[in-house]
Amino acid sequence: MAITDAEIQSVKQRFGIIGTSPLLNNAVSVAIQVSPTDMSVLITGESGSGKESFSKIIHHLSARKHGQFIAINCGSIPEGTIDSELFGHEKGSFTGAHEARKGYFEVTSGGTIFLDEIGEMPLGTQARLLRVLENGEFLKVGSSKVQKTDVRVVAATNVNLMRNVEEGKFREDLYYRLSTVPIYVPPLRERGRDVELLFRKFASDFADKYRVKPIALTDDAKEVLLKYRFPGNIRQLKNLVEQISVLSTDEKEINADILLRYLPKQNSLPALYKTANNDKDGVSERDILYKVLFDMKKDFNDLKKLVLDNYSNQSKAQVVKDHPDLFEGLDANEHHPATASEPVLLNVSSSLPDDDANVEDVHDITHETEDDSLSIEKKEKELIMRALQKNNNRRKYAARDLGISERTLYRKIKQYDLEE
């Protein structure tokens, strides 16, 4: 049954959700629809976008509304104690366990558990959670007795869980079990003029709290507010309004100049790489330059293969013979199809007629690239060595960092004699 606008508005008023953007209304509509069921829900959205409010909608509109609701931030619980917190432990099961303790899944039976920042949950705990979701069973730490629980799980994350799955940081089976119904909570910058409504609401709240006159924005200040990206979302906006309400004692009409003094400076372009001073997984500017050169050389080689494939076997041999510098290292008798794993930057097969003049043209165009081939190969070799060293010689992950297929990496390792 379709959810009406009146129902959406009623729920937003009840749970203090402010805004009229279509993305926000869609998220509220999905939460209303899934609430009466016992399905697992995965709420995605940036930090500070208000994901916990949607978990409360799901709980309070469900048949479990009279049961307990517990919100847990998985990232704030140390890895060594999270199993005990969630599933409980027996007396003496570890140092400091002076008595038995019930976990959240036991005390919340019949209610709802909201697991925020689920992407931070350790892999071992993920396996325990999967068992709860599949058959409602769990084991206390230090116990072999299987216990039952009837808990609905609503999870939330601000990271790309599928990327974590690919990197081996999150269980794939748990991901699909949690995301039976996904809800996307949009960031503030995608909600249009909702930012103005929230600003007025917060200004009114803080005026009452501090017994001051509420601040108001001029038209030019509203435009500045709409253009700002708010990386901290609603949480950042609320802190901003509170700061202005307290510090702007003389001027309650906030123009663009005043607002800009309170807004943090933001880059017009996102950062493309981490500097060498960052963690070991960072990517330096030099790495990016090497990768660009690496890709250029690979694409150029693919282009040469395509040119050869437009000739018969006899013509191929003659072309390679006439231009040994251009087709060095290529076998005239080998077929070189373009593959999905090694994309070609430019498809010229349909535009080159079967005459040697066009090959000479290609040679002229790429002559200066060939002059630098030794330098490019040196940088290519260095980049491959760095990627292998960073990933402890695990070629699968090194190939991923380099942006090439594993097959290409194996060939390059053999070419540069990098095998151990």
Tens digits of residue pLDDT in 169-199 = 999 999 999 999 999 999 999 999 999 999 9
Give the confidence band of 404 by pLDDT, cuts at 50, 70, 90: confident
| Radius of gyration, alpha carbons of the chain | 30
SS3 263: coil
Q: What would the pLDDT profile of 109-131 be if each residue is shown by its tens digit?
A: 999 999 999 999 999 999 999 99
Give the confidence band of 327 by pLDDT, cuts at 50, 70, 90: low
Give the confidence band of 314 by pLDDT, cuts at 50, 70, 90: low
Q: What would the pLDDT profile of 236-279 be if each residue is shown by its tens digit?
A: 999 999 999 999 877 889 999 999 999 988 654 444 444 334 44
Number of Cβ within a 10 Å radius of residue 399: 22
Residue 313: the pLDDT is 62
SS3 50: coil
Cβ contacts of 278-282, under 8 Å, gap ≥ 24:
280/390, 281/390
Residue 251: the pLDDT is 83
SS3 111: coil
For the ranges 14-23, 36-45, 208-217, 390-399, the lowest mean pLDDT is seen at 390-399
- Does position 369 have pLDDT exceeding 50, yes or no? no
Q: Is 384 or 214 the better-scoring residue by pLDDT?
A: 214
The DSSP result for 88-101, as a single string, is -B-TTSSTT--S-B
pTM given for the model: 0.64
SS3 132: helix
Whether the CA torsion 134, 135, 140, 141 is positive or negative: it is: negative
- Does position 358 have pLDDT exceeding 50, yes or no? no
